[in-house]
Structure 1
């Protein structure tokens, strides 16, 4: 009620308004509570909160209650795991949630599958002879992102890539088109290029 006193010039109007209601508070009860010193538990909780926040910040704010508790124990702080959980919840301190790994390949048996033009022979004797494509995912602070990339087998260089928060069919095609544009922009010949990808529907387009 301290804020009420500051804004309205005293707590008495509030106590008067509450009189006769289920929330009625006797003036003596209010002033006794206000003058009472902090309990030993509240004092210790405040110390623990500072220690918890320090551990959380030093670990890039990714630790949840279990890891914070383990770290505090390693530092010699005697505290129960449930206490750490309670204080973190009260202070709104959270770790990074471990999401389930997303799927990058979605088979589609009903569509035509291009032939394997390289017959599993992933070698090349010159640049722009064979490119291979793949999809992967990366976890960021804001969630999972998908990355499609195309690699030149001869140089092991990534020639094209594309990043998206959703897995759409054109993602891999955009990465391929980027690679072709970059090589053509550098006046390199891509005639006869073979592009190889897996059998996921996102990567299913014919190389030539």
Structure 2
């Protein structure tokens, strides 16, 4: 419908619908005009009202509430709504609650034998700087996702060198 709205002044609704039908998307001009003139359904109106409440409750609770806690809070406030409705609305609005899930899986076992040589023979000691460096990788959860950091450490001084 947005495509038709954007191009109807240039091509006309009937010719756009004819072209879309030829391309495999069957749409009749009367369907388009009925969609544009039809008032919003009761479900659409109710969904908009509920989204206002959902966003308010999430804002009051630092954006960590998921469907289960949103449902409980709205019920405590006297707003009767099904949990599946809340799940549908937060999914369509692109909202998510905070997850207690574990971190990302960083170690995946291989299929075959480990053929990499142990160059230090598990002896992680050094008598002077710059004799032995080891590497480590770690990750940290942020609001925008997981951040990975790799370090190169001098074994003697235990300082990050890279």
Q: Match of 1:86, SS?
A: helix
- Shift, 1:20, TM fit: 4.3
- Shift, 1:33, TM fit: 2.2
CA 1:18–1:142: 2 relative to 1, 3 Å: closer
Matches within 5 A, 1:108-119: none
CA 1:63–1:8: 2 relative to 1, 3 Å: same
TM-score by length of 1: 0.48
Matches within 5 A, 1:93-132: 93-100=95-102
C-alpha RMSD of the superposition: 3.4
**Alignment partner for residue 26 of structure 2, among 24, 27, 36?**
24
CA distance in 2, matches of 1:67, 1:78: 14
In structure 2, the partner of 1:62 is 64
How many residues matched? 126
Matches within 5 A, 1:80-95: 80-95=82-97
CA distance in 2, matches of 1:142, 1:36: 40
CA distance in 1, matches of 2:97, 2:141: 14
Determine which structure has greater relative contact order: mean sequence separation of CA pairs < 8 Å that are 6+ residues apart, divided by chain length.
1
Superposed CA offset, 1:113-171 (max 9, x none)? xxxxxxxxxxxxxxxxxxxxxxxxx97545789xxxxxxxxxxxxxxxxxxx669796x
Contact 1:96–1:141 under 8 Å retained in 2: no
Deviates further, 13-22 or 58-67: 13-22
- Shift, 1:61, TM fit: 1.1
Contact 2:8–2:16 under 8 Å retained in 1: no
TM-score by length of 2: 0.60
CA 1:63–1:3: 2 relative to 1, 3 Å: same
CA distance in 1, matches of 2:75, 2:3: 38
CA distance in 1, matches of 2:5, 2:145: 45
